[in-house]
């Protein structure tokens, strides 16, 4: 339903709705719906950098340390990350587009029996027992065949990540609720996935919502047709407005003009995959500049840095920071869209407070 929201309303709404008052770790993951994972640690992994703004007294590594005690899973959604276990039922049993040949199915059955017998298995144990050898990986290099097989079994819902040992996924046999593959049930799952995407990343320009619906082909490839139908239906029933030729969408039960979506004077250094900045198309529309993730860009061509953290002040993303630690102390460099540091004590004090929070976040328990 059209509203009279302005771009300023949407910008404030985009920030305030996802940077909610810090809560518990389970409550934050439930409210976010999905937390994207990334292995790069600069100065911490993306999932930790995302959660530190939303979980009270969060420290780097808390998610991994507490994972086994929480009702969450590592799995695929629009990309790979952590999500409440209840969301898995929307995507499993997953039917990948690429089917295994008979030999791979036999190997997977043998490994599944091995994991079921052992209970919990490290990839090293699988390799030692089966000696699958080496295979070409997705990037053209060579990797452990057992690791690749375990990845495939995890993706297909045969295994789940029980925990991580020094960053390595340790597996157990997955269990799922009995599935209903009727057309009506598939349509309900697809509609729920579209709603989950919209609630996580709203407000979304039309092109971004379409793009995210396509990305659901990663988490639910077997629901591609139903997802597109759910997308068409959602556009007719969710809230929307049109600004400068762009149609924006958000959940029907939220109002971007509401006073509940107020921003404070904080400076926040965000993960490159934080919901506030994840959608680069939306980013450019809301803040009128282009942020790039350059970890895989050759150093000579980088504009922002290896792992530049977008810098949010109030409801404006005004620049970026590259943060590292030396002798347990922060080393931070900054860049600003306007070319200079904002003037005034308010910004300086807010930035100092954010660096203190970052220092605390990186300190051990």
Closest CA to 249 of 208, 283, 300, 306: 208
Sequence-distant (6+) residues with CB within 8 A of 184 are none
> If you write DSSP's letter for every residue of 204-255 in order, what string do you get?
EEHHHHHHHHHHHHHH-GGGHHHHHHHHHHHHHHSEEEEETTEEEEE-TT--
As a whole number, mean pLDDT of residues 290-294 equals 97
Please report whether residue 250 resides in a domain: no
Please report whether residue 254 resides in a domain: no
pLDDT at 259: 92
CA distance 59 to 66: 11
CA distance 108 to 251: 41
pLDDT at 1: 42
Please report whether residue 230 resides in a domain: no
pLDDT tens for each residue of 15-67: 999 999 999 999 999 999 999 999 999 999 999 999 999 999 999 999 999 99
CA distance 274 to 304: 17
The pTM is what? 0.93
Domain interval for residue 318: 267-362
Which residue among 145, 173, 201 closes a domain? 173
Return the C-alpha torsion angle 117, 118, 120, 125, nearest 10. Answer: -120
Residue pair 174/157 in contact by the 8 Å Cβ criterion: yes
pLDDT at 321: 98
pLDDT tens for each residue of 62-120: 999 999 999 999 999 999 999 999 999 999 999 999 999 999 999 999 999 999 999 99
Residue pair 220/196 in contact by the 8 Å Cβ criterion: no
Which residue among 149, 173, 197 closes a domain? 173
CA distance 219 to 239: 25
pLDDT tens for each residue of 205-255: 999 999 999 999 999 999 999 999 999 999 999 999 999 999 999 999 999
CA distance 312 to 336: 11
| CATH code of the domain in which 145 resides | 1.10.10
Q: In this model, does residue 185 exceed pLDDT 50?
A: yes
Please report whether residue 317 resides in a domain: yes
Please report whether residue 25 resides in a domain: no
Q: In this model, does residue 2 exceed pLDDT 50?
A: no
> If you write DSSP's letter for every residue of 22-40 in order, what string do you get?
PB-HHHHHHHHS-EE----
Please report whether residue 303 resides in a domain: yes
Which residue among 157, 173, 189 closes a domain? 173
How far from each other are the two terminal CA atoms of the chain, in whole angstroms?
Answer: 48
Please report whether residue 329 resides in a domain: yes
CA distance 324 to 305: 12
Please report whether residue 93 resides in a domain: no
Number of domains present in the structure of the chain:
2
Sign of the four-CA dihedral 143, 144, 149, 155: negative
Closest CA to 312 of 363, 344, 362, 272: 272
pLDDT at 141: 60
């Amino acid at each position: 339903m059209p509203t009279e929201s302005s771009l300023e309303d949407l910008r404030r709404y985009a920030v305030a709705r996802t940077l909610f008052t810090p809560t518990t770790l389970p409550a934050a993951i439930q409210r976010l719906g999905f937390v994207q994972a990334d292995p790069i640690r600069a100065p911490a992994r993306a999932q930790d950098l995302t959660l530190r703004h939303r979980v009270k007294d969060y420290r780097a590594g808390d998610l991994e340390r507490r994972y086994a005690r929480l009702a969450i899973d590592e799995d695929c959604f629009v990309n790979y990350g952590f999500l409440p276990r209840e969301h898995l039922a929307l995507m499993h049993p997953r039917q990948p587009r690429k089917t295994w040949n008979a030999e791979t199915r036999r190997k997977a059955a043998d490994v599944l029996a091995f994991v079921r017998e052992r209970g919990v298995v490290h990839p090293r144990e699988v390799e030692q027992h089966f000696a699958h050898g080496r295979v070409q990986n997705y990037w053209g290099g060579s990797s452990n065949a057992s690791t690749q097989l375990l990845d495939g079994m995890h993706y297909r819902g045969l295994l789940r990540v029980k925990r991580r040992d020094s960053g390595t996924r340790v597996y157990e046999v997955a269990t799922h609720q009995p599935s209903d593959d009727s057309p009506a049930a598939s349509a309900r799952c697809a509609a729920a996935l579209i709603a989950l995407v919209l609630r996580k990343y709203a407000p979304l320009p039309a092109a971004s919502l379409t793009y995210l619906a396509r990305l659901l082909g990663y988490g639910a490839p077997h629901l591609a047709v139903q997802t597109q139908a759910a997308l068409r239906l959602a556009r007719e029933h969710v809230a929307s407005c049109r600004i400068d030729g762009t149609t924006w969408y958000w959940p029907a039960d939220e109002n971007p003009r509401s006073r509940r979506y107020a921003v404070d004077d904080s400076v926040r250094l965000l993960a490159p995959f934080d919901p506030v900045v994840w959608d680069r198309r939306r980013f450019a529309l809301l803040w009128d500049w282009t942020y790039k993730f350059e970890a895989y860009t050759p150093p000579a061509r980088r504009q922002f840095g290896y792992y530049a953290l977008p810098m949010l002040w109030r409801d404006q993303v005004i620049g970026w920071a590259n943060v590292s630690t030396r002798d347990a102390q922060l080393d931070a460099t900054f860049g600003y869209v306007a070319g200079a540091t904002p003037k005034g004590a308010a910004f300086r004090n807010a930035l100092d407070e954010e660096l203190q929070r970052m220092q605390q976040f990186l300190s051990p328990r």
